Structure 1
Amino acid sequence: MSSTHPDIDSKVQKALEGTKFQVSKLEKITGGSVNWIYKAELTIEIESLKILSPVSSFGNQPNDTHNFVVRTPKFYHFDQDSSTQPQCHELGKALGSWLRNFVAWSAQQVKHRDLVAQNEFGQAVRHMLNYAWLHERTKEYPGILNDVEDILTQVEQLAASEKENTDELQIIHGDFWTGNVVLPDAAIKEGTKIPVFVVDWEMTQLGLPSVDFGEMITEMYALWLYKSIDAGLWMMEGFIEGYGHISEEFAFRTAIHVGTHLVCVTTDFPAWGRENYERVVAAGKDIIVHAWKKDREWFEEGDLACLFRSEN
């Protein structure tokens, strides 16, 4: 990580100089594989900061029983240079619908695309975490991964070539997972609007939509794999349903990303429980291999069957 880690702290502080958000102190908030979120003490106190107006908002479908409204929070400064199955399913569905609308929006952007294209560091980090680390995980779990090392190498090479094919890329969030979705700290009641915010856009980059789609699927699925939390499956199924129609090719590419995220990224998060890592690495391996071989029948008999139902 050190080879791709510039002095972010000083750059953030310098970028805010001369603005009303100039800081006297920055304290980095720790946690996660990718995190550049800071607690800041401002040089001049601002009377109030309220996140009330969204940059974008995509509402839910009229027949949804729980009215989730997913938004991005309002920018204040921009440097020009308890779960039930219906609730969980509808939350996942709302997030999937929001992501699909975001994908449609980002595909039409020109000016924003040129700006986001400058975040080559974010691309490098995303590739490292999900694909370059496959080699490291093979050394850590040789008994599980050695027999598919050739496939893992080809997967990493595929991802590297995709990253260079910039004409096929568009703006993505870059770190679209459950930890970057903020819900109100209150009971969710049927028939009321529930604001949901998608936050932490520092990894925004040019990439394939399957990266955001696959990462969120993985993190929801991980709740089930690591902790046997049914809500993870319910949210995952709703998320895939909300995203809507996808091609079989997109489904397989998403599944590859799900597998690499399980193998490489979730095993870098101690809170999941190290005693579970080998079992989840084996599950991720199976997903990668069967997706690489385009074995649809295998998927249709497992937890990710909903990924292939959505492409009909």
Structure 2
Amino acid sequence: MAPLSEEEKSDLINRVLHALSETPYACSSLTQLTNGTTNFVFRGQLVHPIRHIRGEGNEDDTTASTVIVKHSLEHAALNKNLPIDGSRTLYEVSMLSSLNELPSSTLGVETPRLHLFIRDMNIQVLEDFPDVDDLKNVLVLSAGKQTLTAQVATSIGHTIGAWLRSFHNWAIVSNTKFKDFGDNGSMRKLKYAITYGAYLDVLESSFPDLLEGYRLPLHQVKELAMKEFDHPSNDRFTDKNWGLIHGDFWSGNILLSSHLLHHLPQSISNEKLFVVDWEFVQFGHRAYDIGQMIGDLYERWLFRGVEGAIPMIEGFIEGYGQLENDEFAFRIAIHAGVHLIGWYIRRAPGSPLGFPLDLVTDAMRTGRDWISKGWQKDKKYFENTPLARLFSRGGVR
């Protein structure tokens, strides 16, 4: 890991402030947020507050004094030695502009408004949501404190699942609006590298005993994924399970009211949820978004003891709604397993595991089983897992 030095970071902030000074979104200061992995993300204090407007004739009574400023370079924010194509910003900007047409406001889920894009510097100025926290943090902080009831966890999961279904239905590639959107090739390659391109290496290098008797199905899944990630979008127009996906759909990219950490609501019917971070938007199988969220929530339960994570998974599956067939359900299970094994490399290289080795081994074993049993279409195996509802009346027709 090679992050920017303090001097380099200071120079970067000054360049961004200067670029914004010539726009209506001039900021007096920028405070870096901790959730920027590939990009530099700041909260900017506006020199002149702006009025919130959501559509014609729908003006808020409040003004905003802060914005989110996202700056993308040709490398990762946390590692200047890791190159990442800056074109990812163009895809995110295009998607954010298109999302204004997504008819999902009735679900209580919103996406950020894009205020400004400075193309030559890859600077986005985005709507700031006050008094929110990401779902990952809410889950972790709720562990052992009973600040997230099963009822509320299920409700949150259901809302997220219902929104994702509405997005997938709207953004299917056969929709002519998106036929020329492109594949976001650089981020597709990165997604493959950290998922299907990594799980066998993790097991081979660190958990070789877990491969005994499982090598064939695990290799077959990887071979299928290699072919699929090479397919351009034009090859999949007729398959409704393929289309534009969020591409990084996990609890860290879901925001909700931070007051959920401090009291025990009975419902989230009056709460707003927000889906952020669209740079990974790409052509892919819908199972990639669904399986990533399930795998991520399961991590919260396994590693952090978050009891609400399991009802949230169940609510998420119910909210997404009926699946077309078992094949789709098995694909989701496979991707959830791939994501779970990927936990091992979603940390700084060489850093401590942070959890007992036997617990980590259990996670790798579960991931292996979800992949292999999904590939072998072993529905009975999944009856006693948190993925059971994928195959129940709430999942497959």
Give the letter for the 1:221 counterpart.
Answer: Y
Q: How far off is 1:148 after superposition?
A: 2.3
**1:19 to 1:136, Cα distance in 2 relative to 1, 3 A:** farther
Aligned with 1:76: secondary structure?
A: strand
CA distance in 2, matches of 1:266, 1:290: 21
Partner of 2:285: 208
Give the match's secondary structure for 2:259.
coil
Q: Write the mapping of 1:56-135 to structure 2, written as runs, cut at 5 A.
A: 56=102, 58=104, 69-78=108-117, 82-107=147-172, 109-115=175-181, 117-135=182-200
Percent of pairs identical after alignment? 31
Q: What is the CA deviation profile of residues 163-202 of structure 1, one whole-angstrom value per residue up to 9, with x for unaligned ones?
A: 2232324211110001100001114453751000000111
Contact 1:262 / 1:280 at 8 angstroms: preserved in 2?
Answer: yes
Say whether residues 1:181 and 2:259 are aligned partners: no
**Correspondence for 1:157 among 197, 219, 223:** 223
Out of 205, 208, 221, the residue aligned to residue 139 of structure 1 is: 205
Residue 39 (structure 1) shift: 1.8
- 1:259 maps to 337
When you count strand as a share of all residues, which structure comes out higher?
2
Higher relative contact order, structure no. (Cα contacts within 8 Å, ≥ 6 residues apart): 1
Query: Residue 48 of structure 1: SS of its match in structure 2?
Result: strand
Q: What is the SS of the residue equivalent to 2:369? A: helix
Give the distance between the partners of 1:191 and 1:41, measured in 2 at CA. 29
| Matching residue of 1:35 | 38
Q: Aligned Cα RMSD in Å?
A: 3.3
Contact 2:217–2:376, Cα closer than 8 Å, also in 1: no
SS, match of residue 297 in structure 2 = helix
Alpha-carbon offset, residue 242 of structure 1: 0.5
Alignment of 1:287-298 (within 5 A): 287-298=370-381
Aligned to 2:391: 308
How many Å separate the matches in 2 of 1:133 and 1:179? 21
Q: Which secondary structure state, in structure 1, belongs to the residue aligned with residue 271 of structure 2? A: strand
2:344 counterpart of 1:231: no
SS at match of 1:297: helix
SS in 1 for 2:283: strand
Relative to structure 2, which stretch is displaced further, 48-57 or 211-220? 48-57
Higher-helix-fraction structure? 1
CA distance in 1 between partners of 2:225 and 2:23 (Å): 39
**Aligned partners of 2:287 and 2:331 also within 8 Å:** yes
Contact 2:32-2:41 within 8 A present in 1 as well: yes
CA contact (8 A) 1:175 1:212 kept: yes
| Displacement after TM superposition at 1:70 (Å) | 1.2
**Partner SS state of residue 203, structure 1:** coil
Task: Describe the shift of the 1:38–1:256 C-alpha distance in structure 2 as closer, same or farther (beyond 3 A).
Answer: same
3-state SS of paired residue (1:206)? strand
Q: Which residue of 1 aligns with 2:48?
A: 47
The number of equivalent residue pairs is 292
- What whole-Å deviation, never above 9, does each CA across 1:228-248 have from its counterpart, x for those lacking one? 322101100000000011121
Matched position secondary structure for 1:273? coil
Q: TM (normalized to structure 1)?
A: 0.81
Report how far residue 23 of structure 1 moved.
8.9
Contact 2:162 2:320 in 1 (8 A): yes
Question: What is the alpha-carbon distance in structure 1 between the residues aligned to residue 53 and residue 274 of structure 2?
Answer: 11
- Stretches of structure 1 lacking an aligned partner (at least 5 in a row): 3-8, 61-67
Q: Give unpaired runs (5+ residues) of structure 2.
A: 3-10, 55-98, 121-146, 237-241
Distance of aligned partners of 1:170 and 1:80 in 2 relative to their CA distance in 1, 3 Å threshold: farther
State whether residues 130 and 265 of structure 1, in contact with CA within 8 Å, keep that contact through their aligned partners in structure 2.
no
Alpha-carbon distance in structure 2 between the residues aligned to 1:38 and 1:229: 28
- Counterpart residue type for residue 374 of structure 2: A
Higher mean C-alpha deviation, range 295-304 or range 236-245:
295-304
Map 1:247-286 onto structure 2 (within 5 A).
247-265=325-343, 268-269=346-347, 273=355, 275=357, 276-286=359-369
Decide which of 304, 318, 339 is 1:241's aligned counterpart: 318
Q: Tell which deviates more after alignment, 258-267 or 275-284.
A: 258-267
After superposition, the C-alpha distances for 1:50-73 in whole angstroms (9 at most, x for unaligned) are: 77648345256xxxxxxx611112
